[in-house]
Structure 1
Amino acid sequence: MSTAPVADPAAAPSWTVGDVTVHRVDEVLLPPATGPWLLPDATPDLVAAQDWLRPHFADDEGTLRLHSHSFAFELGGLRVLVDTGIGNGKERANPAWHNLDTGYLRRLTAAGFAPDSIDLVILTHLHADHVGWNTRNVNGTWVPTFPRARYLTSRDERKFWAGYDMEPAREQMFRDSVIPVEEAGLLDLVDVPAGGTDIAPGLRLLPTPGHTPGHVAVELTSHGRTALITGDCVHHPVQLADPAVGACVDIDPRQSEASRRTLLAALAGTDTLVLGTHFAPPTAGHIVRHEGGYRFSPVFAGPR
């Protein structure tokens, strides 16, 4: 395993889970048009009825706030990055993702996770905004950003896309962000049964299919404390108020809703720290039962 660089505690918001510090590594705030496109059933009336969404997760006009970021932590000596965002310089059909130029790698390094120090990259699923920093452009060639890491996703996820009739934009994403990792021999595929699977002590993948067939959430446990990284099983806290609200890009909307309901029911009323992969700051919190559904009770990041 790699040696940890010296971290700047102010570089990335962080939360403590047992003796693990989970850092949020910011990439970009997504534009206001993202909400109506991604979650079309999150109507202004639905958003307005949830006072608890304001001011952090929606504005006074009912516009949803969504964010792109990763989570990085060290657990048992294993240095882990969960999802890799959109990436820089990638050709994307979505104009909000096209040819970005962000300081993501600088922030990741400043948080103490230089690219060559990462041991494990967990990909909750293989969508463009979760695999972009898998690779970076070096002299015109896309090469793995984390050359000493194993990249990991579920076997069902990769199998599905291998047999999928991809449109050109998705083919491009696989060419620049997935296939180079495979060709480097760095991608590991894991079977994730219904009960989940341990991939390291204190680190577990939970199946949450629907958004994609092999989608997983990531659970980490340390000294009796637990955190869960949602991936895209839950895109935004408004889906707690009404779990039937799905994403326009869900492969199987019914399965996505079922996975979301199962996950939220298991988390409600517990002290599990939930970290939303697209939740705007403050990003982390607890699931609380509320008016026949749920709400999000934020836990603000703080110094270590």
Structure 2
Amino acid sequence: MTEAIDISATRPTASERAAAVRQGAALMGDRRLRRPSGIRSLQLGELKITYVPDGVAQLRPRGWLPATTGGDWAEHAEYLNDTGHLVAGVGGLLVEYGSRALLIDAGFGPRAVPEDPDHPLIGAVHGGALLDNLERIGRAPGEIEAVAFTHLHPDHLGWACVAPAVFTGADFLVSEREWTGRHLAAAHGVTAGMLAAITLRLRLVREGEEIFPGVRALAMPGHTAGHTAFTITAGGQRLIAFGDALHSPIQVRHPAWSAAADHDPAVSARLRHWLLAELQRPDTIGFGVHFADVVFGRVHQDADGATWRPQP
């Protein structure tokens, strides 16, 4: 005789199914922390906002965030890829208003830097995909009316410095304070030729200036002397493109962890606390260009601290 099996006993309960869904979502979230982003878009009123990937940089976690310990990274291993690096995407943020377009930052450009085992901060870095991704979106680089830079570092200037020029109709927007301190960029690999390319189309911008419909400059020094964020406001929502004020979503939970590359770590830490308070305000979204595959998100505060919740 065959023993009867109670099939209902093998079915997961509702709570077990919910737990499995939560576990699957957590695993997917973990994977997104360890890979670079593809093209991602959202709509703010009449403005379409799109992350345009160019490449990826590998960051050495204890070198890049020198206040951390091995124990910190054992506790937060979900942020590290198979080679033990933080994954930092490199690209730009396209803001479209009808036929008009603004690009915030211009990626690393068509080049690659292999990993140097002796470099204390970074591993391999490469760019090259930004123009192809603009084409996928349906936007030619010559249609972009302005390229605004959060700061003068190579992974943000990239395609603005190539020859022949690709942003043929664009002004290059840099904060007055950042341009005054442009000599400091040489320590980060910015050459005289790169600055000369920017100079050809340079337009200096002031704090609070509207540079495109709904887009305003917001001084956020620390990573560099004149580092600039941009607020994008439309449709009753606000997005803060905060550049390199934060390099990884782990800093949302640990805002005191400044990057080794910060010009003034104390100032950058102080402004991160202010920024996180702003990102918790209603109808506010953040954009972190280096935030792996979670570039858009909201900041949520709970009893354990602040966390980054990807959107979408």
TM bracket, shorter-chain basis: 0.7 to 0.9
Counterpart in the other structure of 2:97: 75
Q: Quick one: structure 1 residues 61 and 116, their matched pair in 2 at CA, closer, same or farther if it must change by over 3 Å? A: closer
- Distance in 1, matches of 2:127 and 2:249, equals 28
**Any stretches of 5+ residues in structure 1 without a counterpart?**
1-10, 139-143
Q: Quick one: structure 1 residues 46 and 18, their matched pair in 2 at CA, closer, same or farther if it must change by over 3 Å? A: farther
Q: 1:153 aligns with which of 165, 170, 174?
A: 174
Are 2:218 and 2:230, in contact at CA under 8 Å, matched by a contact in 1? yes
- Distance in 1, matches of 2:83 and 2:55, equals 21
Q: Quick one: structure 1 residues 240 and 282, their matched pair in 2 at CA, closer, same or farther if it must change by over 3 Å? A: closer
Counterpart in the other structure of 1:137: 163
Q: 2:124 aligns with which of 96, 99, 116?
A: 96
Are 2:225 and 2:263, in contact at CA under 8 Å, matched by a contact in 1? yes
Question: Residues 229-280 of structure 1: CA distance to partner in whole angstroms, max 9, x if unpaired?
Answer: 1100111111111111001011111111111111111221422111111001
Counterpart in the other structure of 1:64: 86
- Distance in 2, matches of 1:268 and 1:165, equals 32
Are 1:35 and 1:65, in contact at CA under 8 Å, matched by a contact in 2? no
The alpha-carbon deviation at position 90 of structure 1 amounts to 7.3
SS in 1 for 2:162: strand
Q: Count residues with an aligned counterpart.
A: 269
1:125 aligns with 2:151: yes
- Distance in 1, matches of 2:254 and 2:82, equals 19
**Any stretches of 5+ residues in structure 2 without a counterpart?**
1-37, 117-121
The TM-score, its normalising length taken from structure 2, stands at 0.77
The alpha-carbon deviation at position 105 of structure 1 amounts to 1.0
The alpha-carbon deviation at position 64 of structure 1 amounts to 2.7
1:21 aligns with 2:48: yes
The alpha-carbon deviation at position 107 of structure 1 amounts to 1.1
Are 1:229 and 1:274, in contact at CA under 8 Å, matched by a contact in 2? yes
Which AA in structure 2 matches 1:105?
Answer: L
Are 2:113 and 2:124, in contact at CA under 8 Å, matched by a contact in 1? no
- Distance in 1, matches of 2:51 and 2:205, equals 25
The TM-score, its normalising length taken from structure 1, stands at 0.79
Are 1:212 and 1:252, in contact at CA under 8 Å, matched by a contact in 2? yes
SS in 2 for 1:221: strand
CA RMSD of aligned residues (A): 2.7
Are 1:157 and 1:213, in contact at CA under 8 Å, matched by a contact in 2? yes
Range with greater deviation from structure 2 (57-66 or 271-280): 57-66
Counterpart in the other structure of 2:8: none
Are 2:217 and 2:231, in contact at CA under 8 Å, matched by a contact in 1? yes
- Distance in 2, matches of 1:91 and 1:297, equals 31
Which AA in structure 2 matches 1:78?
Answer: R
Structure showing greater Rg: 2
The structure with the greater share of residues assigned to helix is 2
Larger relative contact order (C-alpha < 8 A, sep ≥ 6)?
Answer: 1
- Distance in 1, matches of 2:193 and 2:281, equals 42
Range with greater deviation from structure 2 (11-20 or 214-223): 11-20
